[in-house]
């Protein structure tokens, strides 16, 4: 029996090409988002009076967040990114993974993200590539939400 479109959406993996990036309620255009990485480190120590005696105890309480990398094509007179870099303040960053109709399926929210590095494209007279700025952000944490 053939599956309906709604049934197919429940069993097939999501596509990653349809997304939006929102920085403090301002939709910004980015062609690539990388670095939504979360790690939890294990801390192990011995409990007791001596490092030779005592029980080994492990805790998993230290969270690490990798820098988030955003890339966008350079457009003249687009000052949204430049305004954020001048202020340098921490902002809420949302990455929305969307269905074909634009409705959000998943949402990553980076909390208190602030810019740490901007790298413009290499300028090369023998090339005809698009100028792309690479922005690195550091966030205090992020969460994954299911809007549906």
- Report the pLDDT value the prediction gives residue 93, as an integer from 0 to 100: 94
- Could you give the angle at the alpha carbon of 132 between the alpha carbons of 128 and 136, nearest 5°? 155
Predicted confidence band of residue 117 (pLDDT cuts 50, 70, 90): very high
The conformation of residue 81, written as its DSSP 8-state character, comes to H
- Look at residue 136 and tell me if it is in a domain: yes
Count of domains observed in the chain: 1
Burial of 17 (0-12, 13-18, 19+ CB in 10 A): exposed
CATH number of the domain where residue 69 is located: 2.30.110.20
At 35, the pLDDT band (50, 70, 90 cuts) reads very high
Q: Tell which residue, 105, 131, 109, has the closest CA to residue 119.
A: 131
Task: Provide the residue range defining the domain that includes 97.
Answer: 13-38+65-145
Element (H, E) at 90: none
pLDDT of 61 strictly over 90 = no
Predicted confidence (pLDDT) at residue 137 exceeds the cutoff of 80: yes
Q: Over pLDDT 90: what percentage of the chain?
A: 34
22 vs 133: CA distance, rounded Å: 17
pTM, whole model, 2 decimals?
0.77
């Amino acid at each position: 029996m053939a599956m309906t479109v709604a049934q197919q959406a429940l069993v097939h993996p999501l596509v990653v090409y349809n997304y939006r990036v929102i920085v403090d309620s301002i939709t910004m255009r980015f062609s690539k988002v990388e670095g939504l990485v979360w790690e939890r480190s294990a801390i192990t120590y011995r409990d007791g009076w001596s490092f030779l005696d005592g029980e080994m105890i492990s805790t998993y309480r230290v969270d690490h967040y990798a820098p988030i990398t955003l890339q966008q094509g350079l457009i003249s007179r687009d000052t949204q990114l430049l305004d954020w870099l001048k202020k340098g303040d921490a902002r809420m960053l949302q990455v929305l993974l969307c269905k074909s109709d634009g409705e959000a399926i998943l949402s990553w929210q980076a909390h208190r993200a602030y810019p740490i590095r901007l790298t413009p494209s290499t300028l090369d007279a023998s090339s005809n590539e698009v100028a792309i700025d690479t922005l690195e952000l550091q966030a205090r944490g992020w969460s994954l939400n299911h809007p549906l």
